[in-house]
Chain A
Amino acid sequence: MDDAAPPADGPLPAAELSAEADPPGRRDLGAGDPEQPEAGSVPPVVAVVVTRDPGPWFEEVLEALGDSDYPELTVLVLDAGSAEDPTGRVAAPLPAAFVRRLPENVGFAVAANEALSAVTGATFLCFMHDDVVPDPAAIRLLVEEGYRSNSAILGPKLVDYDRPEVLLEVGCSIDRFAVPHSRVEPGEIDQEQHDAVRDVFYVSDAMMLVRADLFSELGGFDARTFPGGEDLDLCWRAGLAGARVMVVPDARARHRKADHLRDDADRASKEQLHQSRLRALLKCYSGLSLCYLIPLTLLLNVVEAVAFLFTRRRDRARALLGAWVWNARNLGDLRQARAAAQALRSVPDSEVRVLQSHGSARVRHFLVGSLHAEERIRTISERGRTVADSASSGARTPQVMLVGAFALVLLLGSRGLLLGRVSAVGQLATWPGVGDLLGAFTSAWRASGLGSPSAPPPLLAAFAGLGTAVVGATALARTLLVVAALPVGVFGAWQLGRRIAGPGWPAAAAALVYGVNPVARNALAAGRFGPVVLYMLAPFVLGGLLRLAGYLPDEPRRRRWRSRIGTAALVAVTAAAWPPALAFPVLVLVAFAFAAPLARDGFARVRALGAAAFVSVGLALALLLPWPLTYLQAGDRLAVAGFAFRPFSGLSELVRFDTGPNGAGTFGWSFVVAAGVVLLLAAEDRLAWTARLWVLALVSFAVPFLSYRFLPDTPMPAVEGLLVPAALALALVVGVGVAAFAQDVLAVHFGWRQIASLVGVVTLAGAGLLFVGDSLGGRWHQPDDDWVESLSWMHAQEGNGRFRVLWLGDASILPVDPLPRGDVAYGVTDNGPGDARMALPPPPGGASALVGEAVDLLVSLRSDRVGRLLAPMAVRYVALPDRADPGDRPTAPPSAALRAGLAAQLDFVRLEAPAGITLYENRAYLPGAALLPDDPTTKGPLDVLDAPDAWAAVPVLGGPVPEGTVLWSQAYDGAWKADGNGDALTHRRAFGWANGFAHPDKGTVTISYGRQWTRYPLVLLQLAIVVGAFGLWRGSLRFRRRGRAASYADRSGGEA
């Protein structure tokens, strides 16, 4: 220690430089004669080791420097405020080293910059951290390469201190947004794969050889880019000045990476990292590049920040955006630094960018880093190999081949829908734009029927969300939802089948049988949107209920709430699309209660199922609030809840699921036959499941059958939806049967059981053939065309005034949510054939009941002036289809009474229309917003019958209208307001049910709904309920993860 040179304040005498050393000069930096120094006159190198409170490995570092085979090496240790003077520690291994102590911890960059004043005459400065142990030849190899390549900054290959075979860094790059990127993957083994000397964008200052003259020209490290970006910034500026930055892999150094053992002052925080990198970007790019990079980087950062917020990493979001704020606050300094950097520029950005990586390193890091890259990359690669191995062998199994064939047929059968369009038949209404959907959802006034202040269905918000997910392509979203319903349902059946019947063939059989059942395809063909959604989600709902009730293998208690919320959410989603789906859990309860004696289930289990069912339904209703409250309004509640169709006749058709064009034929019996065989084969638990599921199927069949038998005049929900539970139950029974075959049948000698099994398989194969046959058309018999398309010309009529279309006919073919009225059903759409905004109308009470009364008059031939009654309702067209789509043959011709009633109307004119639909125009119609010379506020509902043939109505389209009374054909509500020429108009009832506004002077009239503000809190409430439920569900999930982590810790004995 005594031999150590005392610390000095002024420049230290450095090693003498050889005469051949290049003099410093800006233009010569990076250029110059790559002449080998003469032997004995090597350029002096000063190893500048920056330290602060070095650890016990410090001596090893110094010894390594002492062991360096570079002859002209001087060591300068810069102590940045260590608590203890390290001079003694330096003197022991390196008595000739110099130590300079700085009074405080100024950080690496500032400390290293001391070399600018402390060192003169050195050709190279080799900056090092105090935890890097270079190989003896490292510095020599760097210097040699520096002369050979005429490069100004060089770095070695850095390897892990303890495991030198593991690479840490071999030069680095950045993307265009200044985010570092390394070619070395975490934990990568050094197999000389990166051992080529090459130009890189930057090298780490853990060990960095820099030409001293360049370092001086550059002004050293930029202290404001420390920590996290000082090395990147230095190399970037060097590159702007035309200097080469290279990595020399033959020069190796072991790096302990001891930063994590230090305190926060040395460890770069996220904020500092982002600040440094952003500063470097703003300094070093040219002005032209910054013109597009600044907004692009900012946008990327904002998107990332939003993503971080959603994944609850607020600190990272703050760091990203805080970097901009920090740099803005230090704008003055930044400008100066930028000026200095740009002053050194001798190459354009395009040359510098050659060494940048493409794309976004952060995106790559996000995808990898959020998965805890180091471990997971290794795990993924291991698993990937395992999956690849098993997939290649598994793909050859019959099970996978069968599933693959099914998937292929499914895709082929849906090709027409995917490549074409899903026709708007039945309740498969078209979706308007996202804005329109959201506007309808957030509106306090529901325009269905004649309007009412009802809560819109959450389905509209769901459609808007799906449309947003595909960047506003709502038609695409609709197609994907509809097409995906089949495979998702099959997947659900597979999942549930694994739990009930067992993995492997039993689950696959259950899934396949569910998939080939024609109920979903028939629902799709007929446009029954709700049953399609029920088909998709029923397996998940049933699985959730059974899990909660303890029918499935035990789940940890801490998952119960997650299951409850998850099941309720699924029930809510299904009910949002099809309200009768709320009865599905109750149906399951009833069936399993009936089956309890057969399956020897105890009362406690059934009670648990009951609790699960009612909790699910209750929570589902809560999730859908306030929409379910609309069903308390006056009117035909059952009709709007989906009870609108004639009961399905034909027990044979029901049992064969023959409700439409798909799957018709004798092989439809296969489901029941195959499931019946299982009753003979299964034993023990499998027999119990068979009994339960068979009862579920029987109950599901019984609902439509008994309603037809005993209540033939009572409208029922769409039969396809009523049959979904039976389809699922029978599919699961078949899965159980496969398990029973493997476990109960194969074990006994050949006999009738095997033959019965063969019969079951053969019949199911027939059902599979039907499935393949239905796929040939590519649309599952869904029509190519629809009335919405054929009557799209109506939209152009809106320019003559708002109007409505009254649809009449059989409920099974109307392209609306039908409201039954005796043998006839009806629906009302706005300004044309309508779209999803008219879906799920509220009960037609109040004014909307007048439409039904008008329909009654039509059907019963009690009036030839229904046109006048419909006139104030703005009903301009009356459509009477006799088939679901234009291309089909008549399937539901209207009754003679209805046809006669329409033909007898004195105000109706029959229009030319495509085959299959009779279309009338109501010549007495009044536009939805019309100026009437006669005051309608003095008239009752029937006074319109005495009205003259022509009201001389003037449509209110936004321009000036003469004086008179404005008729607004929405149900009367005191919140409707109208302004004429800026003045509020007197509001009264018109025709006893509509809105009339006295308009005393000619001018423009605007109409608005005054209670719109009440809707927003309800929307927020609904959002809060959903978000709260999601949060509860996630909280439960995180709890499960923590629990699992704890259990891992337990197993590993508590090691970190």
Chain B
Amino acid sequence: MSARRSPSRAAALFVVVGTIVAALVLAATVPEPVPDGAPAVGPRLARRGEISSWFCAEGTSTPDARADERVYVTNLGRAVAHAALTVFSGADQTPVTSTFEVPGRSVHEVHLADVAAVAEPGVLVEVRGGRSVVTHGINGNDDVAIGPCAREPAERWQFAGATTVRGATLWLALLNAYPDDAIVDIRFVTDKGPVEPEALQGFVVPRRSRLTVPVHEHARRDNLVATDVVVRRGRVVAEQSLVLDGSDGRRGLALTLGTARAARRWTVATGAQAEGRTQALAVANPGKVPALVRVVPELDGDAEVAPIELLVPVRSVVPVDLAVIPPDVGFSLAISAEEPVVVETTAAVTAPQPAAARGIATALGSTAAERFWVVSPARASDRSQDAVTVLNSGTRRVSFTARVLHDGAFSVMGTKARITLAPGRRAVLDLTAAEVPTGAALVVTGSGPVVVERFSEGVPGVTLAVAVPGS
């Protein structure tokens, strides 16, 4: 019988040490884990298969009220979308729900007064199926304002560029569509300093209701008012409407959906100044550190303007002087700050512009560029002059297409299928000239990230809003 061979120490050492070395090598090449990304916030196109909820806070639905509301539900998908529109008023009122279907690739308009006549309605639109975008518009004071509805509540809502000068009424609509009460603290930052009305601290927004706060009664006669709503408990959506009666030469109605997050970068795509057309920019700093802000105008054509730099103190709002921008030149603005700020632009059309075109419009800047945007409704009315601005805010050339969604089909807008933009450049699409029908939506698809805004005048009135991004 042969003797069993002795184990080899060298082999054992080789295996053990070799394994350890191999493990060390593998461990060194382990990819870094991808950090948890924050979910998207703000209005955005619903994804395929998503059951989306949209919150439209501001508006009225009683006759002759200050902001007669209409809701636009756009379905970009082929399949029929099932929508339920719920109107909340006071906590002791039973919400009214109306259900309807939105055919594929179409826009469905709902006049809220046809659903429920409520003085201060808050609207929740839930859409199942298809791919939806919900916007709403308010009419009043011979003006119109159209903007997107919110997609989710936030713990904070901020605005920047409103006013409570003489002749102005500023309304803050708070919608709580949830089954529990919300408690908020409402503060204002004005050009004269911060205002924290006691009555608005620990302010209760009851479950399934909408309340309206007359800001002008708390921040009186301020040129600039930046509203800051901090949610202590519960969930709300905040929207603001501004009514100017012409006392300061401006008359009209404007609508702004608050932003949940201040940001260090903002973009305003639509800028124009001329006789009877003014554009104002306000920067609010809600933080605890002064913010150095740099505003870089990008003019259409070859003209250039020096950037504007300003320091926005802690908890203050500052107007940006755009007088350096020559008139009759379209422009866009790129705003960057060292600290998170809120940027809002106010456009006013006054005399000598035609009466039908006069009005005011406000809009927060855009904090993100996307490849896909929806403008709905594309036309504010059958009489309006509607333009969509597409801005390449990036550093590379971008091309985009604009398609019209109407009656179940897409069609290319205009003759040019694809437009190319150099970095920092923008294109303005005249929807009226392109004979985009009313009741249609416009879809802009870029080869790279772009910013899209819609400006309409002669609705009657004017309206300005960032389009709704998608993915």
Task: Let me know if A684 and B8 touch, CB within 8 A.
Answer: no
Question: Interface 1/0s, chain B 133-166, versus A by CB < 8 A?
Answer: 0000000000000000000110000000000000
Minimum CB–CB distance for A272 against chain B, Å:
64
Q: Using C-beta atoms within 8 Å of the partner chain, give the interface range for chain A.
A: 35 or more
A599 CB within 8 Å of chain B: yes
B100 CB within 8 Å of chain A: no
Assembled-state Cα–Cα distance A701/B19 (Å): 11
Task: Let me know if A598 and B38 touch, CB within 8 A.
Answer: no
Assembled-state Cα–Cα distance A734/B378 (Å): 78
A865 CB within 8 Å of chain B: yes
Known: A900-B39, A945-B51. A651 touches B12 (CB 8 A): no
Instruction: Pick the residue among A690, A864, A909, A923 that contacts B12 (CB under 8 A).
Output: A690
B187 CB within 8 Å of chain A: no
Interface residues of A in 967-984 (CB under 8 A from B): none
Task: Let me know if A691 and B5 touch, CB within 8 A.
Answer: no
Residues of B with C-beta under 8 A to A438: none
Residue of B nearest to A652 (CB): B27
Minimum CB–CB distance for B29 against chain A, Å:
8
Task: Let me know if B5 and A600 touch, CB within 8 A.
Answer: yes
Question: Interface 1/0s, chain A 922-965, versus B by CB < 8 A?
Answer: 01000000000000000000100110010000000000000000
Task: Let me know if B7 and A651 touch, CB within 8 A.
Answer: no
Minimum CB–CB distance for B5 against chain A, Å:
5
Task: Let me know if A896 and B16 touch, CB within 8 A.
Answer: no
Known: A904-B53, A906-B53, A945-B128. A598 touches B8 (CB 8 A): yes
B180 CB within 8 Å of chain A: yes
Minimum CB–CB distance for A499 against chain B, Å:
19
Give the A-B pair count, Cβ closer than 8 A.
116
Known: A651-B27, A708-B30, A909-B180. A600 touches B4 (CB 8 A): yes
Assembled-state Cα–Cα distance A1050/B118 (Å): 107
Tell me which of B7, B13, B26, B38 has the highest count of chain A C-beta atoms within 10 A of its own C-beta.
B7
A828 CB within 8 Å of chain B: no
Task: Let me know if A597 and B16 touch, CB within 8 A.
Answer: no
Residues of A with C-beta under 8 A to B13: 679-680
Minimum CB–CB distance for B468 against chain A, Å:
16
A360 CB within 8 Å of chain B: no
A645 CB within 8 Å of chain B: no
Minimum CB–CB distance for A930 against chain B, Å:
19
Task: Let me know if A687 and B7 touch, CB within 8 A.
Answer: yes
Residues of B with C-beta under 8 A to A705: 23, 26-27
Instruction: Pick the residue among A599, A676, A706, A712 that contacts B16 (CB under 8 A).
Output: A676
Interface residues of A in 876-931 (CB under 8 A from B): 895-897, 900-901, 903-904, 906-910, 923
Known: A684-B6, A903-B235. A896 touches B38 (CB 8 A): yes
Task: Let me know if B51 and A691 touch, CB within 8 A.
Answer: no
Residues of A with C-beta under 8 A to B5: 600
B84 CB within 8 Å of chain A: yes
Task: Let me know if A698 and B16 touch, CB within 8 A.
Answer: yes
Task: Let me know if A649 and B30 touch, CB within 8 A.
Answer: yes
Residues of B with C-beta under 8 A to A698: 15-16, 19
Residue of B nearest to A698 (CB): B19
A149 CB within 8 Å of chain B: no
Known: A598-B7, A906-B178, A909-B180. A862 touches B51 (CB 8 A): yes
A688 CB within 8 Å of chain B: yes
Assembled-state Cα–Cα distance A910/B235 (Å): 10
Assembled-state Cα–Cα distance A865/B54 (Å): 12
Residues of B with C-beta under 8 A to A680: 9, 13
Interface residues of A in 203-254 (CB under 8 A from B): none
Assembled-state Cα–Cα distance A906/B178 (Å): 5
Known: A688-B7, A946-B84. A651 touches B180 (CB 8 A): no
Interface residues of A in 519-535 (CB under 8 A from B): none
Residues of A with C-beta under 8 A to B47: 862
A695 CB within 8 Å of chain B: yes
Task: Let me know if B7 and A599 touch, CB within 8 A.
Answer: yes
Interface residues of A in 578-601 (CB under 8 A from B): 597-600
A709 CB within 8 Å of chain B: yes
B50 CB within 8 Å of chain A: yes
Minimum CB–CB distance for A809 against chain B, Å:
13
Task: Let me know if A864 and B23 touch, CB within 8 A.
Answer: no
Minimum CB–CB distance for A687 against chain B, Å:
5
Residues of A with C-beta under 8 A to B352: none
Question: Interface 1/0s, chain B 50-86, versus A by CB < 8 A?
Answer: 1111000000000000000000000000000010100
Task: Let me know if A909 and B179 touch, CB within 8 A.
Answer: yes
A657 CB within 8 Å of chain B: no
Assembled-state Cα–Cα distance A907/B180 (Å): 9
Assembled-state Cα–Cα distance A651/B124 (Å): 51
Task: Let me know if B4 and A906 touch, CB within 8 A.
Answer: no
Minimum CB–CB distance for B232 against chain A, Å:
12
Question: Interface 1/0s, chain A 611-625, versus B by CB < 8 A?
Answer: 000000000000000
Question: Interface 1/0s, chain A 190-210, versus B by CB < 8 A?
Answer: 000000000000000000000
Instruction: Pick the residue among B11, B24, B39, B99 that contacts A896 (CB under 8 A).
Output: B39
A694 CB within 8 Å of chain B: yes
Assembled-state Cα–Cα distance A900/B38 (Å): 9
B49 CB within 8 Å of chain A: yes
Task: Let me know if A863 and B50 touch, CB within 8 A.
Answer: yes
Residues of A with C-beta under 8 A to B82: 946
Assembled-state Cα–Cα distance A695/B14 (Å): 12
Task: Let me know if A679 and B9 touch, CB within 8 A.
Answer: yes
Task: Let me know if B15 and A598 touch, CB within 8 A.
Answer: yes
Tell me which of B13, B84, B95 has the highest count of chain A C-beta atoms within 10 A of its own C-beta.
B13
B302 CB within 8 Å of chain A: no
A861 CB within 8 Å of chain B: yes
Minimum CB–CB distance for B419 against chain A, Å:
33
Instruction: Pick the residue among B24, B50, B51 that contacts A651 (CB under 8 A).
Output: B24
B298 CB within 8 Å of chain A: no
Minimum CB–CB distance for A785 against chain B, Å:
26
Task: Let me know if B7 and A600 touch, CB within 8 A.
Answer: yes
Assembled-state Cα–Cα distance A948/B209 (Å): 17
Residue of A nearest to B51 (CB): A863
Residues of B with C-beta under 8 A to A598: 7-8, 11-12, 15
Task: Let me know if A687 and B12 touch, CB within 8 A.
Answer: yes
Minimum CB–CB distance for A851 against chain B, Å:
17
Assembled-state Cα–Cα distance A712/B32 (Å): 11
Question: Interface 1/0s, chain A 679-713, versus B by CB < 8 A?
Answer: 11001100110110011001001100110110010
Assembled-state Cα–Cα distance A909/B177 (Å): 11
Residue of B nearest to A675 (CB): B16
Question: Interface 1/0s, chain B 439-460, versus A by CB < 8 A?
Answer: 0000000000000000000000
Minimum CB–CB distance for A676 against chain B, Å:
7
Minimum CB–CB distance for B129 against chain A, Å:
10
Minimum CB–CB distance for A932 against chain B, Å:
19
Task: Let me know if A709 and B30 touch, CB within 8 A.
Answer: yes
Residue of A nearest to B129 (CB): A942
Residues of A with C-beta under 8 A to B27: 651, 705, 709
Question: Interface 1/0s, chain B 336-370, versus A by CB < 8 A?
Answer: 00000000000000000000000000000000000
Task: Let me know if B26 and A864 touch, CB within 8 A.
Answer: no
Assembled-state Cα–Cα distance A691/B12 (Å): 6
Minimum CB–CB distance for B305 against chain A, Å:
39
Residues of B with C-beta under 8 A to A942: 128
Give 4 closest A-B pairs by Cβ, nearest first.
A863-B51, A909-B180, A864-B53, A651-B27
4 further A-B pairs in the complex, CB-CB below 8 A; given A651-B27, A895-B36, A906-B179? A857-B51, A864-B52, A865-B51, A906-B53
29 A–B pairs (Cβ distance < 8 Å), ordered by A: A597-B11, A598-B7, A599-B7, A649-B33, A687-B6, A687-B7, A687-B9, A687-B12, A691-B12, A691-B15, A701-B23, A702-B19, A705-B27, A709-B30, A861-B39, A861-B50, A862-B47, A862-B50, A896-B36, A896-B39, A897-B37, A903-B235, A904-B235, A906-B178, A906-B179, A909-B179, A909-B180, A910-B180, A946-B82
The residues of A with any CB-CB pair to B shorter than 8 Å are: 597-600, 649, 651, 676, 679-680, 683-684, 687-688, 690-691, 694-695, 698, 701-702, 705-706, 708-709, 712, 823, 857, 861-865, 895-897, 900-901, 903-904, 906-910, 923, 942, 945-946, 949
